[in-house]
Structure 1
Amino acid sequence: MIPISVLDLAPVPEGSDTGQALHNALDLARHAEAAGYRRYWMAEHHNMPGIASAATAVALAHVAAGTRRIRIGAGGIMLPNHAPLLIAEQFGTLAALHPGRVDLGLGRAPGTDQVAARAMRRNLTADVDQFPQDVMELLAYFRPAIPGQALQAVPGAGEEVAVWILGSSTFGAQLAAHLGLPYAFASHFAPGQMMQAIQIYRERFRPSEYLAAPRVMLGLNVFAAETDAEARRLFSSLQQAFVNLRSGRPGKLPRPVEGFEASLDLRARATLDHALACSVVGGPETVRHGIAEFVARTGADELMVTAQIHDHAARVRSFEILAEVHAALDAVA
């Protein structure tokens, strides 16, 4: 069975705050490490009351200091928001402190709305068309410095940072293939072009100093509980959050409610069905079948699993159930 990893958006549940969300993130990472997950990633989002990982490198430093083995990384850093040198220094610092454990996923979306994007950049002239050049500049900063080099990332130069390209369309697939980098697709919220992007990436991949063969990691929502009914109830928090976001009302992660899906109109239900199509929701047996089917259908090399669950104990238990199911599948394989 392929490796599984954790994508944690550090959810801020209704009735809680960002400080508790970040403490919960470390607790989840420790459980994930003990359960055998390969990576623990956090994502850059801004102006989102329900997500506490905006200062992604800072949040990752908190998690890395409290764990020992699990790889930690960004899934991802939205590079148009930043000067590549600053990201090289931030993740070079993480790699200097935690050698051999740091991943850096790079995306070209802003991770926020236009108001926040303008506040971060002061202007929007650094458009997404510059993304490939920014990626190559960033990769160069991680190479060992040479005598007389005028500009260095310190820390950063010569540090071991595994760079991934993230995407929710075929653009990222083409770039990752061209540069010979591993590719992670955001199928957990934007599955529309998933199969096309995978095909393009694998067909066009060029071996590089970073990677000899293509490697695809796919995002997947997994909500696991003791029963199917309880898992569906927990899943309603993410469903509510999506409806609120698409309605222009982002907020903290809502409490789960019974029968939420049945209360939706046809348009809202269709939006959810599309956006959250790559989701496995249920008890252990349902999760086992769902994971096996998704891997068989996509040929994924690794899964990046996320679960926006209101109750932290239930969220930890969801990842524990998945780890148990994964171990059982691995034993069969």
Structure 2
Amino acid sequence: MTVPLSILDLAPLVSGGDTRDALRRTLDLARHAERFGYHRYWVAEHHLTPGVASSQPALLLGQLATVTERIRLGSGAVLAGLQTPLAIVEQFGMLDALYPGRFDLGLGRWAQRRGAAYTEAPDESPGEPRTVDGLLIPRHFPLASVFSPQRLELMRHLLKQPGANAADLDTMLGDIETLLTGPYADEHGNEARAVPGEGADLQVWVLGSSGGESAQVAGERGLPFAANYHAFPAKVLEAATAYRATFRPSRTLAEPWLMVSADVVVAEDDATARRLAAPYGVWVRSIRAGGGAIPYPSPEEALAYPWTDADRDLVADRVDTQFVGTPAAVAERLATLQRVTGADELLVTTITHDHADRVRSFQLLAEHWPDHVS
């Protein structure tokens, strides 16, 4: 059986465009993704980012459901620390009530306290780049270096209620599971039911970027797990190993189910693919500089960017692990990623300045993928 391909979309703005344009492109891409045969279409959650329009996954997924019929739709990921379990279950329960059996509730840690059983932080040392059976594992980029303390404080001020303290990920997943199966009861015997939400036919996923708490909780709860190669490639093998090592069979899964993400740009020839991917480094630099992603530049704007050695070092891990080229070349690299990680499914993301180029990239990949992995 061919390893499924799915899509992660950030609803990116491009230079010269606006939010309406970005969201229209996302709706159009979802329609094409369904026609091309992709398995899932996930949207991210990013806040206070000038170049990304996907800030409210549940709202956007409701719109995507109106323009598609069969493709699974999901969040990659809802930031669990910014909402209560009840709010999350109600949002996705409403989606399922309107469009039954089509939604994935993907959850990721943000602004949450670490669970008592996961006090050891994963190794954040950069390490040295290496190649593992054909897959590049670059130096690690520490996320803590992206935002200044002042910007983090601003984000917390705007994203969290004063005094709110989110539960750890394992506790939140337990509450979500209880609300979905219902009823929820406290220690005094009081019951509460999520309406909509209780009985919703959702697939619950956990997303993570290392072998830390997210991977371990996903494994211990027997949930499917998505490991993040496209944004944190240095930690993908660590994440996959931790997930499998902690996996316990559950009502959801008898065996681990791992999805791995990758950033790709596909075109009919290498030169065209490289030109379309040229803005990627500039865009990643804007994220790593701490201000959030800028609207995606054009190839011409990228060509004029005044690169320094420090800039190149800042984005090297992302640029070096972006899969760029012809359909055959990119499919071969994705096959290597799948083989080395043992992924059961791949989640691909693509950004180009021109929408037609982005649609064409996904089309070419879908057409060539079945010939490479089975």
Per the alignment, in what secondary structure is the counterpart of residue 162 of structure 1? strand
- Tell me by how many angstroms 1:276 deviates: 4.2
Percent of counterpart pairs with the same letter? Answer: 40
| C-alpha distance in structure 2 between counterparts of 1:141 and 1:53, whole Å | 26
What residue in structure 1 maps to residue 162 of structure 2?
A: 123
CA contact (8 A) 2:184 2:193 kept: no
Amino acid at match of 2:33: A
What residue in structure 2 maps to residue 269 of structure 1?
A: 312
Residues 236 and 123 of structure 1: CA distance in aligned 2, closer, same or farther (over 3 Å): farther
Please identify, of 253-262 and 31-40, the stretch whose mean Cα deviation from structure 2 is larger: 253-262
CA contact (8 A) 1:88 1:141 kept: yes
* Among 242, 258, 272, the residue aligned to 1:200: 242
* Among 270, 273, 279, the residue aligned to 2:322: 279
CA contact (8 A) 1:233 1:257 kept: no
| C-alpha distance in structure 2 between counterparts of 1:106 and 1:77, whole Å | 5
- Tell me by how many angstroms 1:261 deviates: 11
CA contact (8 A) 2:89 2:197 kept: yes
Per the alignment, in what secondary structure is the counterpart of residue 193 of structure 1? helix
Residues 244 and 146 of structure 1: CA distance in aligned 2, closer, same or farther (over 3 Å): closer
What is the correspondence of 1:155-304 to structure 2 with a 5 Å cutoff?
Answer: 155-170=196-211, 171-250=213-292, 251-257=294-300, 260=303, 264-304=307-347
CA contact (8 A) 1:57 1:91 kept: yes
What residue in structure 1 maps to residue 366 of structure 2?
A: 323
| C-alpha distance in structure 1 between counterparts of 2:162 and 2:318, whole Å | 30
Per the alignment, in what secondary structure is the counterpart of residue 259 of structure 2? strand
- Summarize deviations over 1:177-212 as a string: whole Å, max 9, x none: 111100001111111211011112112210001111
Amino acid at match of 2:202: V
- Summarize deviations over 1:231-267 as a string: whole Å, max 9, x none: 1122122221111122234321111248759963333
Amino acid at match of 1:60: L
| C-alpha distance in structure 1 between counterparts of 2:315 and 2:163, whole Å | 30
CA contact (8 A) 2:207 2:214 kept: yes
CA contact (8 A) 1:233 1:259 kept: no
- Tell me by how many angstroms 1:44 deviates: 0.6
- Summarize deviations over 1:292-320 as a string: whole Å, max 9, x none: 22222221111110012111110000000
What is the correspondence of 1:33-72 to structure 2 with a 5 Å cutoff?
Answer: 33-72=34-73
What is the correspondence of 1:10-89 to structure 2 with a 5 Å cutoff?
Answer: 10-89=11-90
Please give the root-mean-square deviation of Cα atoms over the aligned residues, in Å.
2.2
- Tell me by how many angstroms 1:21 deviates: 1.0
Please list every run of 5 or more consecutive structure 1 residues that lacks an aligned counterpart in the other structure.
none
Please list every run of 5 or more consecutive structure 2 residues that lacks an aligned counterpart in the other structure.
112-142
| C-alpha distance in structure 2 between counterparts of 1:44 and 1:9, whole Å | 8
What residue in structure 2 maps to residue 9 of structure 1?
A: 10
Name the count of aligned residue pairs.
Answer: 330
- Provide the TM-score with structure 1 as the length reference: 0.93
What residue in structure 1 maps to residue 114 of structure 2?
A: none
Please identify, of 284-293 and 83-92, the stretch whose mean Cα deviation from structure 2 is larger: 284-293
- Summarize deviations over 1:36-78 as a string: whole Å, max 9, x none: 1000000110011111110111111000111000000000000
What residue in structure 1 maps to residue 171 of structure 2?
A: 133
Amino acid at match of 2:330: V
Residues 162 and 152 of structure 1: CA distance in aligned 2, closer, same or farther (over 3 Å): same
Amino acid at match of 2:299: P
Per the alignment, in what secondary structure is the counterpart of residue 230 of structure 2? coil
Residues 213 and 228 of structure 1: CA distance in aligned 2, closer, same or farther (over 3 Å): same
CA contact (8 A) 1:189 1:276 kept: no
Amino acid at match of 2:205: W
CA contact (8 A) 2:49 2:291 kept: no
Per the alignment, in what secondary structure is the counterpart of residue 42 of structure 2? strand
| C-alpha distance in structure 2 between counterparts of 1:289 and 1:16, whole Å | 33
Per the alignment, in what secondary structure is the counterpart of residue 92 of structure 1? helix
- Tell me by how many angstroms 1:132 deviates: 1.7
| C-alpha distance in structure 2 between counterparts of 1:81 and 1:47, whole Å | 14
Per the alignment, in what secondary structure is the counterpart of residue 207 of structure 1? coil
Per the alignment, in what secondary structure is the counterpart of residue 217 of structure 1? strand
Please identify, of 308-317 and 256-265, the stretch whose mean Cα deviation from structure 2 is larger: 256-265
- Summarize deviations over 1:67-124 as a string: whole Å, max 9, x none: 0000000000001011110010000011111111100110012599622332121336
Per the alignment, in what secondary structure is the counterpart of residue 81 of structure 2? helix
| C-alpha distance in structure 2 between counterparts of 1:287 and 1:40, whole Å | 20
